Amino acid sequence: MSLPLENLDDHPAFSRIPPWAQQKLSPKAVETIKKVHHWMETEVIPAEPILKAQLNQEGRRWKKPQIVRELREKAKKEGLFNLFLPKTFGDLSPGLTNLEYACCAEIMGRVYWGAMTMNCHAPDTGNMELMAKYCNAAQKEQYLMPVLRGECFSAYSMTEPDVASSDATTINCRLTRDPQDSNYLLINGRKLYGNCIWEEDLGFYILMACSDPDNPNPWKRHTTVIVPKDTPGLKMVRNLTVMGYDWAPEGHGEFLYTNARIPASNIILGEGRAFEIAQGRLGPGRIHHCMRLLGQTERAYELALIRATDTRKKPRGKLIGEFDSNIERLATMRLQLDAMRLVVMNAADTMDLKGNKAGRYAIAQSKIMVPQACADIIDECMQMHGGAGVTQLYPFPEMWTYARFVRLADGPDAAHRHQVGRDELKKAPKVKEQHDAYHRRYKELCEKWGVAYESFL
């Protein structure tokens, strides 16, 4: 049952949601969106400097800041935990559709760590979806449930420094049976990315490795396993900064596996089935970053509006917002943001209506268009703030960095464009058929009306 739309228009959480999407929101979703909005406005956005101060305290860089711990406990009690898990997951899910969650995620995204206060952050969301879908009962109990309850965190480890990881068939890290005891597996290789081992509450990595390199079918050569972070033989070589930031307390690491030994019971789904799992991971989790980027970019835009009307700043005697170039700039940013929201919501709605597989194009469309557009908008907003815009006193540098790295995380946008382009080319014969039919008809019409027929065909 949907609500009358006029009830929603006045509430700031709904003002940017287009009517077609508003009318699909259940009463429960409306309540949840309002709660998420209130949560972010009162608990998270004003607390941004507190989080930074706590992270900078002596010895606390890789520990969850106290404020995040407190907020996570509170969010759990208020029913704001794990909102990302779509309805299709039954009892594990709080019951939102992907479209409804997109409305929540945009609001959460106004601050980078907002989603973490509600256990809706990457990569745990994708990992929890994966585990809920593919783990057996014992694995769910041991690994999924603690993450869902917010007791520990998980990381995803696929990328490698020695291959082009955007083509996962090239993943090279080796997984073999332990010759001493076939109930155990040995991992050998190097990995890039995945949260730092230093992260205090990190529990395990979900790792993709090559277990059957000689299999003639390249889609059956790889296996996905769970690697507890204290596994002997797993070593973090260094913390990787991203555009100069360490992204503590989660961070990103480079890892070396030397005969790292795990129980064979940590294989997810079965040997050689990593690509089935990877396909299953191609769901809503792939556009959560895009949903959140919209919220963050809206906030950057709001700051630009404030700057444009700040009466203390009058170059050549005019407000910044009185220059035609800035009026145009603001309009363009507004239009782009609203267009991007349609793209993301369409992807979420397509998955709700037709399933994740059918949403493939819309997901790719979001992943190609949104991070780039958001980075460009944030860049303009930063520019309108002059020198102050690039300092720590404004959130633009971190916002821009986030939008920029989402062009790579979860696969580079070029790879998505490549796939979309290839799919488009497959449509060429059908399109040609359609245009040939125009032509045949044109020829008939030429004869009927006595017009000279002209063509290169």
Ligand X SMILES: Cc1cc2nc3c(=O)[nH]c(=O)nc-3n(C[C@H](O)[C@H](O)[C@H](O)COP(=O)(O)OP(=O)(O)OC[C@H]3O[C@@H](n4cnc5c(N)ncnc54)[C@H](O)[C@@H]3O)c2cc1C
- C-beta neighbour count of 140 within 10 angstroms: 15
Q: Tell which one of 305, 390, 415, 420 touches ligand X (CB under 6 A).
A: 415
Is 229 among the residues that bind ligand X (CB under 6 A)?
no
Residues 277-336 that bind ligand X (CB under 6 A): none
Question: Which of these, 281, 6, 247, 25, lies nearest to 129 by C-alpha position?
Answer: 281
**Smallest distance, ligand X to C-beta of residue 257, A:** 14
Is 14 among the residues that bind ligand X (CB under 6 A)?
no
Is 412 among the residues that bind ligand X (CB under 6 A)?
yes
Q: Tell which one of 82, 119, 139, 157 touches ligand X (CB under 6 A).
A: 157
Q: What are phi and psi of 252, to 5 degrees?
A: -130, 140
Choices 108-116, 159-167, 325-333, 342-350 (CB under 6 A): range interacting with ligand X: 159-167
Q: Are 157 and 190 in contact (CB under 8 A)?
A: no
Choices 6-14, 155-163, 296-304, 367-375 (CB under 6 A): range interacting with ligand X: 155-163
Q: What SS3 class is residue 175?
A: strand
Q: Tell which one of 106, 124, 298, 410 touches ligand X (CB under 6 A).
A: 410
**Count of residues in contact with ligand X, rule CB under 6 A:** 21
Residue 411 CB partners (closer than 8 Å, separation 6+): 166, 367
299: tokens are 């906030």
Instruction: Report d(CA 77, CA 119) in Å as an integer.
Output: 13
Is 123 among the residues that bind ligand X (CB under 6 A)?
yes
Choices 69-77, 371-379, 402-410, 437-445 (CB under 6 A): range interacting with ligand X: 402-410
CB of 241 or CB of 383, closer to ligand X: 241
Is 253 among the residues that bind ligand X (CB under 6 A)?
no
What letter would DSSP give residue 127?
A: H
Is 245 among the residues that bind ligand X (CB under 6 A)?
no
Question: Which of these, 335, 421, 325, 414, lies nearest to 371 by C-alpha position?
Answer: 414
Is 92 among the residues that bind ligand X (CB under 6 A)?
no
CB of 395 or CB of 411, closer to ligand X: 411
Is 103 among the residues that bind ligand X (CB under 6 A)?
no
Question: Which of these, 192, 202, 193, lies nearest to 63 by C-alpha position?
Answer: 202
Choices 41-49, 138-146, 156-164, 371-379 (CB under 6 A): range interacting with ligand X: 156-164
Q: Tell which one of 282, 409, 420, 446 touches ligand X (CB under 6 A).
A: 409
**Smallest distance, ligand X to C-beta of residue 125, A:** 12
**Is residue 156 within a helix (H) or strand (E), and if so which, with residue range?**
strand 153-157
Strand partners, 224: 208
The full DSSP string for 20-83 is: HHHTT--HHHHHHHHHHHHHIIIIIGGGHHHHHHHHTSTT-TTS--HHHHHHHHHHHHTT-SST
Q: Is the dihedral of CA 391, 394, 398, 401 positive or negative?
A: negative
Is 166 among the residues that bind ligand X (CB under 6 A)?
yes
Is 243 among the residues that bind ligand X (CB under 6 A)?
no
Is 194 among the residues that bind ligand X (CB under 6 A)?
yes
CB of 43 or CB of 160, closer to ligand X: 160
CB of 165 or CB of 224, closer to ligand X: 165
Measured CA distances, 132 to 123, 264, 269, 289, 320 (Å): 14, 19, 11, 20, 51
Q: Tell which one of 3, 145, 152, 242 touches ligand X (CB under 6 A).
A: 242
Q: Are 124 and 203 in contact (CB under 8 A)?
A: no
Choices 31-39, 53-61, 160-168, 267-275 (CB under 6 A): range interacting with ligand X: 160-168
Q: Which residues bind ligand X (CB under 6 A)?
A: 123, 156-159, 164-166, 193-194, 242, 252, 405, 408-412, 414-415, 418
